[in-house]
A = this chain, B = another copy of it.
């Protein structure tokens, strides 16, 4: 772990001065300054009074020394670089994370995974003591990343419900803190909306089979359409191009379809292009609902997309808050072993012109 704090300017009151004035040990003063957990309330009061009286400002370097933190967090996107830059989802999630980390005075360092060949190097980096924690997202079920993170023993929070073997959810698996949207509930709302418009043959363009977010949306679709023809479900991978391909497949199999629920706005946008090429009108001939509400897509398509909104930026912020709780918990209550609870955020149907 790095230990090169800048020397504090001589004019500033030190933590030692605070401890002396409060009549407590330096360790106790430091614990109070860093949250106060485990310190008896009368002592907390004394230290806080000393802090105020001396005008003590806990500078970052000193805080680093006390908390053994690097002041940096790794954000790991388990996707290749071309996907990261082409899908606005990642931009939004990174934006939320970036803002929240800045609020915690922690430096974001972004990493991504071009392929399994990168795991070793990423593991060494994470294990090298350069970051206080990791936020990982778009982790596919067969991904090597969770075990890399586990071996590096770096606290982590995941974006999206873990679906890999041994993760929480599996009986006996360790609790892995994560933040996700209510994918299943959102999908149910999308399909019910299409049915409420009188549509009878609702197709689904699904996301990757190895991402729980995609599978939860399929489950939501099936919750409402218990006996849907399997031919009404086509496979995509969340990209625009895959949405176009899936739409073409669906039209070949079921030319009578009158509605499509696509599991991402990017796929809906690809589907829209194919529908237009075939001379089918949206929503008159085929009603279309997306997922995400990436407004750079959903407001820009013609017609604009009805979609299921998830608060991607907000989820990014929540991931940071959860990680900070993990970090604080580890420091102030060692040995309790309880992971902070995960968070599922609500979704909301946003009606525009496409359905």
Contact = CB atoms under 8 A, between A and B. Distances in A.
Counting chain B CB atoms within 10 Å of each CB, which of A114, A118, A124 scores highest?
Answer: A124
Interface in A100-119: 102, 105-111, 114, 117-118
B81 A91 contact: yes
Contact of A129 (B2, B6, B60, B111): B2
A185 interface: no
A82 B71 contact: no
Nearest to A127: B4
A107 B122 CA distance: 7
Given A2-B128, A71-B124, A98 B110 contact: no
A81 B96 CA distance: 11
Contacts of A60: 121, 124
A72 interface: yes
Contact of A130 (B61, B72, B106, B114): B72
Interface residues of A, number: 38
A90 to B, nearest CB: 8
In the assembly, how many copies of this chain are there? 2
Contact of A114 (B61, B98, B109): B98
A98 B91 CA distance: 19
Interface string A145-162: 000000000000000000
A125 B85 contact: no
Contacts of A71: 121, 124-125, 128
A27 interface: no
Given A85-B90, A109-B109, 15 more contacts: A2-B2, A4-B129, A70-B130, A71-B121, A71-B125, A71-B128, A81-B95, A102-B117, A105-B121, A106-B121, A107-B111, A108-B111, A109-B125, A110-B111, A130-B130
